[in-house]
Each structure stands twice: as structure tokens, then as C-alpha cells.
Amino acid sequence: MASNNRWFYVILFALLTGLASSTFIPGDVFQSHGYTARALLQAKTACTVDFEHQNYTIITSQCKGPNFQAGPCCAALKEFACPYSVEISNEKSDCASTMFSYINAMGNYPPALFSSLCVEGKQGLDCGNFTSTKTSDNNGAAPMPMMLTASFFMLLFHLF
């Protein structure tokens, strides 16, 4: 019986951890935030994603000027950025500013292009229904909620 209680808590922990992940990229990551004197005490942590060596052709091949179209540009931005939505949404790291600086440098885009084109609501870009076509970056890993749901049902059928 103690074994069943332990499995229950393991499954509950796994489900709650999966539900805690971010599915939105906040809209305020597009805007420059002025730093105050307290910024020295609240220095941002370095980004854990290596944006310097990412493949930006997803964006540069679909988002072309001089007349930038919102549809292809925003779809390309979501395809590139949504796999990193948790890291980009972390306001304590510099991931968002690092990513956009590399995007602007690689594509020679004007400042604030994506913040003016890609607006989906108050929470920013919605990555909830995004399906990644990138298998090289995540090594073929399935999305976390799907894995947790499948694991839950497998354990449920195994226990009963």
C-alpha cells in the first residue's frame, strides 16, 4: 500500500511540473525596458540557450522586406522562438534581448519590427498550439504535456 502512495505522489508531482511550463511569450519582451539605478542589484542572468549558433534561416527565408508581411514574419518568429518560450519568458534572464539582437543582426531587420507586426494579445505570442518541426534542437523529444499524459495513462492502466 505504501508503494501505491509513493507512485501517486510521483505522478502528481510530474503532472504539476508539466502544467507549470509557459505556453506564451509575453508581449513585453518586444519592448525595451529602461534600467533604473536598482538594475545593478538585479542583474539579469545569462541565457542558457546559445542563440549565437542557431539557424536563423527559418526567419530570414520567410520574413523579407522591404514590405514585411505580418503572416509569414510572425509564423517564422513563432516557429523559431516557441521551442524556447520558457527561457524567453523568464524576465530574470537576458534570453529575449539576446534572441532579438541576433534575429535583427542576421536578418538586417529594422528595430521593433516584430513587436509592431506580431501582436496576439496581452500575454504576447501564443505558443500553446504550436507544433515544433525542429527535431534537431530537441533531439526528437515529444512535447512535455503529451509525455506526461501518456505516462499517467500507462501507470493508471498498470495499477488497475
Query: What is the tens place of the pLDDT at every residue in 112-126?
Result: 888 888 887 777 778
Give the mean pLDDT of 74-79: 90
Per DSSP, helices labelled H in the chain are: 2-19, 57-62, 70-81, 85-89, 95-107, 113-117, 144-159
Nearest alpha carbon to residue 28 among 109, 88, 75, 101: 88
Q: Which amino acid, residue 53? A: H
Same domain, yes or no: 102 and 157: no
Q: Which cell numbers hold the place of 24? A: 506564451
Please indicate, yes or no, whether the overall pTM of this predicted structure exceeds 0.85: no
Same domain, yes or no: 3 and 79: no
Q: What's the chain's average pLDDT?
A: 74
Q: Which cell numbers hold the place of 8? A: 501517486
- Asked if 50 and 94 touch (Cβ cutoff 8 Å), the reply is no
C-alpha torsion angle, residues 29, 34, 37, 42 (rounded to 10): 10
Same domain, yes or no: 65 and 7: no
Buried b (16+ CB within 10 A) or exposed e, 52-63: eebebebbeebb
When pLDDT is cut at 50, 70 and 90, the band that residue 90 belongs to is confident
Indicate the number of domains in the chain.
Answer: 2
| Domain contains 80 | yes
Give the C-alpha separation, 77 to 69, whole Å. Answer: 12
Degrees to nearest 5, angle at CA 59 with 56 and 117: 140
pLDDT on residue 44: 80
Same domain, yes or no: 122 and 152: no
Same domain, yes or no: 122 and 46: yes
Nearest alpha carbon to residue 68 among 124, 125, 105, 117: 117
DSSP one-letter code for 38 = G
Same domain, yes or no: 102 and 146: no
Q: Which domain holds residue 47?
A: 42-127
When pLDDT is cut at 50, 70 and 90, the band that residue 57 belongs to is very high
pLDDT on residue 154: 58
